[in-house]
Structure formats: C-alpha cells, structure tokens
Amino acid sequence: MEKKVFTEEGLRKLKEELDYLKNEKRHQVADRIKQAKEYGDLSENAEYQDAKDEQAFVEGRILELEHIVKSAIAVDNNGGKKGRIFIGSKVKVDRDKGQILEFEIVGSMEADPVNGKISIESPLGAALIDKKVGDEVAVELPAGLVKYKILEIN
C-alpha cells in the first residue's frame, strides 16, 4: 500500500470529513430514503432515486477516505523549525526579483495552488524542499525557467 504524506492539519481535516460522513451524513441519507419510500411507487419516485444516488456517493466517499487514512502519514514541520523548508512550511518567495508569493508546502492530496498550497511533488515544491532563507532555486515551468529567492519560512 502506497503511503500518502499529509500535513497534520490536512490529515485532521480528512478524518473530520470521514467522521461526519459516517456519523451524520449516512443517517441523514437513510432518513431521506425512508421518507421517499413513503411516497409510494419506487419506480417513478424521483425523490427516492435521488436519495439512493446520494447514498451511493456517500458510501463511496467513506470507502475512499478510509483507504486514504489507513495509508496516510502525518508529517510534523520539523524542517521549518530548523530553518529549512519541509512539508507544512509556509514560505514567502521573490519570483524573478519582483513578484512576492506565499505558499504552504503540502502533500500531493492536499494541493490547492489557487489557495497557495503547493505539493511537495510539484516542480516548485520539490525544488524548495530542504532549502533555507536566502537560497535561490530555478524551476523549469511551462512558461520557461523561473527563479525564486526564499525570503521567509514559517
């Protein structure tokens, strides 16, 4: 089983979602199905079909999350405390001497570039790992070679 790396926060959020689906959402959907059955003929009951579809989705997501959580490794940001970039580090960089960007380095399943969360497996994330303030990295992106200078690590 391939292990998936998460920040402690990312793994906590997954576990919260799993708990919600198993202990709340599953019961809500079962209640919807029960109510829809009371409407009569199930073959022409859109409410019933919709509830059954939701049940299938919820059960599928529960199975997916259980598998992910079993294979997950939460990584503490020890590297950032030593002045080096590691998973969980929040990094401020200067892109090509002028554009200041901020990122959080996360596991691949937590990546959300639009919200500043980049994967350790992305070209930029991989280049930043184990670097310290003042280091410069060059990353080959579709737009060409881009240079970043590390300004701050939290």
Cα–Cα–Cα angle for 151, 153, 95, nearest 5°? 35
The pLDDT > 90 percentage for the chain reads 72
pLDDT computed for residue 80 by the predictor: 53
Q: 121: domain range?
A: 77-153
Q: Is residue 69 located within the same domain as residue 97?
A: no
- Residues 86-113: pLDDT tens digits? 999 999 999 988 899 999 999 999 999 9
Q: Is residue 143 located within the same domain as residue 84?
A: yes
Residue that is last in its domain, among 32, 58, 74: 74
Residue 142 CA: distances (Å) to CA of 33, 42, 83, 128, 139: 49, 53, 30, 18, 10
Q: Is residue 93 located within the same domain as residue 50?
A: no
Q: Is residue 53 located within the same domain as residue 98?
A: no
Please determine, for residue 1, whether its predicted confidence score (pLDDT) is greater than 90. Answer: no
Q: Is residue 18 located within the same domain as residue 66?
A: yes
Q: Is residue 144 located within the same domain as residue 85?
A: yes
**Domains identified in the chain, total number:** 2
Residue that is last in its domain, among 39, 74, 109: 74
Sign for the pseudo-dihedral over CA of 148, 89, 7, 114 = negative
Q: Is residue 70 located within the same domain as residue 101?
A: no
Q: What is the CATH number of the domain that holds 63?
A: 1.10.287.180
Using pLDDT thresholds of 50, 70 and 90, give the confidence band for residue 139.
very high
Please determine, for residue 76, whether its predicted confidence score (pLDDT) is greater than 90. Answer: no
Q: Is residue 130 located within the same domain as residue 102?
A: yes
